[in-house]
């Protein structure tokens, strides 16, 4: 599931569950830059400051996009 597929509370929960499963899978977590909570939250804050695109009109999709970005943002 991609963050663009998130449209409501249920799909957001599924997306978050998928991200959590990726952390435990070495072949998938290799794509992540920020596996520990501190670096993930730092990246989330940095992305929120640096992102130039407008917020998605769907708040669930917007939140999912922030989580997806935080996984890989340097």
The answer to whether the beta carbons of residues 72 and 33 sit under 8 Å apart is yes
Above 90 in pLDDT, residue 74?
no
Domain ranges of the chain: 3-72
Distances (CA, A) of 20 to 16, 33, 68, 74: 6, 14, 11, 19
pLDDT band at 8; cut points 50, 70, 90: very high
Per-residue pLDDT tens over the stretch 20-60: 999 999 898 898 999 999 999 999 999 999 999 898 999 99
pLDDT score, position 53:
85
Mean pLDDT on 7-30 = 95
Q: What is the pLDDT of residue 44?
A: 95
DSSP secondary structure letter of residue 5: G
């Amino acid at each position: 599931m991609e963050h663009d597929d998130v449209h409501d509370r249920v799909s957001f929960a599924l997306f978050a569950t998928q991200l959590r499963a990726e952390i435990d899978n070495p072949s998938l977590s290799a794509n992540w830059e920020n596996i520990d909570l501190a670096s993930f939250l730092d990246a989330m804050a940095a992305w929120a400051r640096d992102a130039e695109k407008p917020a998605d009109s769907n708040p669930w999709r917007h939140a999912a996009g922030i989580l997806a970005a935080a996984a890989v943002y340097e």
